[in-house]
Chains A and B, each alone.
Chain A
Amino acid sequence: MDLTFSDAEAQFRDELRAWFENNDPGPMPEGEDASYAWRRDWQRRLADDRYAAVHWPEQYGGRGATITQSAIFFEELGRARRPLPANVLGILLAGPTIMTFGTDEQKDRYLAPILTAEEIWCQGFSEPDAGSDLAALKTRAVRDPAHPDEWVVTGQKVWTSGAQHSKWCMLVARTDFDAPKHKGLTYFLMDMEQPGVQVRPLVQITGEPEFNELFIEGARIPDENVLGGVGNGWKVALTTLMNERSGLAFFLQVRLRQLLDELIEEAAERGLLDDPVVADKLGYLHMKAEILRLTAYRGLTTIEKYGTPGPEGSLTKWMWSETNQELAQFAADLIGPDALTNGNRWAYELLRSRGNTIEGGTTEILKNIVAERVLGLPRLKGAA
Chain B
Amino acid sequence: MNFDFSEDQHEIKRTARDLLASRSSFAKVREAAESHTYDPALWSELVELGWPGIAIAEEHGGQGLGAVELAILCEELGYALAASPFLSTVLAAEAIGAGGSVEQQRQWLPGLASGEITGALGAVGGLVGDAAEAAVIVLIGDDGVARVVARADADVTEVDAIDPTRRAARVYAPPTHGEALGGDDPQAGIDRATIAVAAELVGVSQRALEMTLAYVKDRKQFDTPVGAYQAVSHKCAQMLKDTEGARSATYYGAWAADAGADGPGLPEPASLAKAAASDGARDTAANAIQAHGGIGFTWEADVHWLYKRAQVDAALLGTSGVHRKRLAALVSARLAPAVA
What does the 1/0 interface line of B249-271 toward A look like (CB < 8 Å)? Answer: 10110111001001100000001
Complex Cα gap A311–B230 (Å): 19
Task: From B78-86, B107-115, B119-127, B232-240, give the one contacting chain A.
Answer: B232-240
Query: A1 touching B336 by the CB < 8 A rule?
Result: no
Query: B259 touching A302 by the CB < 8 A rule?
Result: no
Complex Cα gap A281–B331 (Å): 13
Our pick among A1, A281, A286 for the contact of B251 (Cβ within 8 Å) is A1
Complex Cα gap A315–B244 (Å): 9
What does the 1/0 interface line of A348-380 toward B look like (CB < 8 Å)? Answer: 000000000000000010111011101111111
The reply on A105 being an interface residue by CB < 8 A is no
Complex Cα gap A319–B246 (Å): 12
The reply on B328 being an interface residue by CB < 8 A is yes
Our pick among B217, B259, B262 for the contact of A378 (Cβ within 8 Å) is B217
> How many Å from the CB of B123 to the closest CB on chain A?
19
Complex Cα gap A282–B321 (Å): 11
Query: B255 touching A3 by the CB < 8 A rule?
Result: yes
Query: A2 touching B255 by the CB < 8 A rule?
Result: yes
> How many Å from the CB of A239 to the closest CB on chain B?
23
Size range of the interface on B?
35 or more
The reply on B323 being an interface residue by CB < 8 A is yes
| Residue of B with least CB distance to A260 | B331
Given A2-B255, A301-B4; A371-B324 close (CB under 8 Å): no
Given A286-B331, A367-B234, A371-B237; A378-B227 close (CB under 8 Å): yes
> How many Å from the CB of A367 to the closest CB on chain B?
4
Tell me what chain B mostly uses at the interface: helix, strand, loop, or mixed: helix
| Residue of B with least CB distance to A273 | B332
| Residue of B with least CB distance to A299 | B3
Please name all residues of chain A whose beta carbon is closer than 8 Å to the beta carbon of B244 when the two chains form the complex.
295, 298, 311-312, 315
The reply on B248 being an interface residue by CB < 8 A is yes
What does the 1/0 interface line of A286-322 toward B look like (CB < 8 Å)? Answer: 1110110011011011100100000110010011000
Given A279-B325, A287-B276; A368-B230 close (CB under 8 Å): yes
Query: B2 touching A380 by the CB < 8 A rule?
Result: no
Given A283-B275, A294-B248, A370-B241; A377-B228 close (CB under 8 Å): yes
The reply on A5 being an interface residue by CB < 8 A is yes
Q: Which of B262-296 contact A (CB under 8 A)?
A: 262-263, 271-272, 275-276
Given A269-B339, A371-B234; A301-B3 close (CB under 8 Å): yes
Please name all residues of chain B whose beta carbon is closer than 8 Å to the beta carbon of A290 when the two chains form the complex.
249, 252, 272
Please name all residues of chain B whose beta carbon is closer than 8 Å to the beta carbon of A282 when the two chains form the complex.
324, 328, 331-332
Complex Cα gap A305–B240 (Å): 22
Complex Cα gap A282–B259 (Å): 27
Query: A319 touching B230 by the CB < 8 A rule?
Result: no
> How many Å from the CB of A265 to the closest CB on chain B?
5
Our pick among B236, B325, B329 for the contact of A371 (Cβ within 8 Å) is B236
The reply on B224 being an interface residue by CB < 8 A is yes
| Tally of contacts, chain A with chain B, CB under 8 A | 182
Most buried by A among B1, B331, B332: B1
Q: How many residues of A contact B (CB 8 A)?
A: 56
Complex Cα gap A276–B217 (Å): 42
Most buried by B among A2, A264, A268, A371: A371
Please name all residues of chain A whose beta carbon is closer than 8 Å to the beta carbon of B2 when the two chains form the complex.
1-3, 301, 305
> How many Å from the CB of A333 to the closest CB on chain B?
15
Complex Cα gap A315–B239 (Å): 11
Complex Cα gap A301–B2 (Å): 6
Please name all residues of chain B whose beta carbon is closer than 8 Å to the beta carbon of A264 when the two chains form the complex.
328, 331-332, 335
Q: Which of B1-59 contact A (CB under 8 A)?
A: 1-6, 9
Most buried by B among A276, A291, A301, A372: A291
Complex Cα gap A286–B236 (Å): 24
Our pick among A1, A9, A269, A371 for the contact of B233 (Cβ within 8 Å) is A371
Please name all residues of chain B whose beta carbon is closer than 8 Å to the beta carbon of A284 when the two chains form the complex.
275, 324
Query: A279 touching B329 by the CB < 8 A rule?
Result: yes
Complex Cα gap A68–B269 (Å): 22
What does the 1/0 interface line of A3-42 toward B look like (CB < 8 Å)? Answer: 1111001000000000000000000000000000000000
Complex Cα gap A371–B217 (Å): 11
Most buried by B among A364, A374, A375: A375
Complex Cα gap A26–B241 (Å): 39
Please name all residues of chain B whose beta carbon is closer than 8 Å to the beta carbon of A371 when the two chains form the complex.
227, 230, 233-234, 236-237
Query: A287 touching B275 by the CB < 8 A rule?
Result: yes
Please name all residues of chain B whose beta carbon is closer than 8 Å to the beta carbon of A378 when the two chains form the complex.
217, 224-225, 227-228
Our pick among B68, B216, B331 for the contact of A377 (Cβ within 8 Å) is B216
The reply on A261 being an interface residue by CB < 8 A is yes
The reply on A58 being an interface residue by CB < 8 A is no
| Residue of A with least CB distance to B1 | A5
Q: 5 smallest A-B Cβ distances: which pairs?
A: A283-B324, A371-B233, A294-B248, A283-B328, A283-B327
Q: List 11 A-B contacts (CB under 8 A).
A: A2-B1, A268-B336, A286-B327, A297-B1, A298-B251, A318-B241, A364-B234, A367-B233, A371-B234, A374-B240, A378-B228
Q: A3-B3, A367-B234, A377-B216 are in contact. List 4 more A-B contacts (CB 8 A).
A: A290-B252, A294-B3, A378-B225, A380-B228
Binding site for B on A (CB under 8 A): 1-6, 9, 68, 261, 264-265, 267-269, 273, 276, 278-284, 286-288, 290-291, 294-295, 297-298, 300-302, 305, 311-312, 315, 318-319, 364, 366-368, 370-372, 374-380, 383
Binding site for A on B (CB under 8 A): 1-6, 9, 68, 213, 216-217, 224-225, 227-230, 233-234, 236-238, 240-241, 244-246, 248-249, 251-252, 254-256, 259, 262-263, 271-272, 275-276, 321, 323-329, 331-332, 335-336, 339
